[in-house]
Amino acid sequence: MLDLYETQIGSRLLLGTARYPSPAVLADAVKRSGTEIVTVSLRREAAGGRNGGVFFDMIRALGARVLPNTAGCHGVSEAVLTAKMAREVFQTNWIKLEVIGNHDTLQPDVFALVEAARILCSEGFEVFPYTTDDLVVAERLLEAGCKVLMPWCAPIGTAAGPLNLSALRSMRAHFPDVPLIVDAGIGRPSHATIVMEMGFDAVLLNTAVAGAGDPAAMAEAFAKAIGAGRQAFGAGMLEPRDMAVPSTPVIGTAVFA
């Protein structure tokens, strides 16, 4: 089980709800993924008007817990205001905090992120910060009151997979007791398996599933890949070796002249 702010979660796949071809396809993807948490943008919900209400009713009918996000925010005050509005709309203290600093890479503004996290944590929010793989930033977010970290492995929507495995390994080793959810940049189930084998606790996906030819089938594939990676990590994997090691013992085998 995954413990997020003292809430026990069975699935280690968190699923985004944007850019699906239709609500029916989204609903099917959520069901087949087995996810228990879906992210929802307040801006998407509010912009939808009457349709937005129907969309949220559909999400609630699926039984998934909503993790609202501050997607599209570019400053502290904007992110804090959006978070407060999301708490009223979705009736939850959970918030995925995004404060974007670069329009091209969608890289977080880590300075504004830490400040916004400090404000929100002091006001009772349970913050899931979308951050980089920088250890110093991670330390500051924890000091601000965050109990979960969500480092990227590549820029949002690129599907590039883990670009800096060394940094991700360092983050996992440096924060062994902090739930770490890889968010952004994963494009294939094999990418998800890699980070789960490294000991990360969960993966958050959107584009890789919503943009697939068959989103529901892809959601199921990711769920299986994440499960396999977590099981492999728990089982204890062999580390790479510099020399070949025979799988069959050579002692006691027959020798022919």
User: Which pLDDT band, with edges at 50, 70 and 90, does 63 fall under?
Assistant: confident
- Segment 117-143 shows an average pLDDT of 97
Q: Is 48 annotated as a binding residue?
A: no
Mean pLDDT of the chain: 91
Q: Is 206 annotated as a binding residue?
A: yes
Cα distance between residue 101 and residue 157, in whole Å: 16
The residues annotated as belonging to the active site are 96
Does residue 124 register a pLDDT over 70? yes
- Segment 231-254 shows an average pLDDT of 82
Q: What is the pLDDT of residues 162-177, one digit of tens each?
A: 999 999 999 999 999 9
Does residue 203 register a pLDDT over 50? yes
- The pair of structure tokens assigned to 48 is 């939808």
Tell me the CATH class for 2-235: alpha beta
pLDDT at 243: 84
- Residue ranges of the domains in the chain? 2-235
Sequence-separated (6 or more) residues with CB below 8 Å from residue 38: 14, 15, 16, 17, 30, 59, 62, 64, 65, 66, 67
User: Which pLDDT band, with edges at 50, 70 and 90, does 256 fall under?
Assistant: low
Q: Is 102 annotated as a binding residue?
A: no
pLDDT at 252: 61
pLDDT at 233: 96
pLDDT at 47: 46
- Segment 231-249 shows an average pLDDT of 87
pLDDT at 3: 95
User: HSE on the CB side for 147, CA within 13 Å?
Assistant: 12
Q: What is the pLDDT of residues 13-58, one digit of tens each?
A: 999 999 999 989 999 999 999 999 999 987 645 544 555 567 777 7
Q: Is 157 annotated as a binding residue?
A: yes
Q: What is the pLDDT of residues 27-37, one digit of tens each?
A: 999 999 999 99
Q: Is 46 annotated as a binding residue?
A: no
Q: Are 154 and 182 in contact (CB under 8 A)?
A: no
Percentage of the chain modeled with pLDDT above 90:
77
Cα distance between residue 84 and residue 226, in whole Å: 32
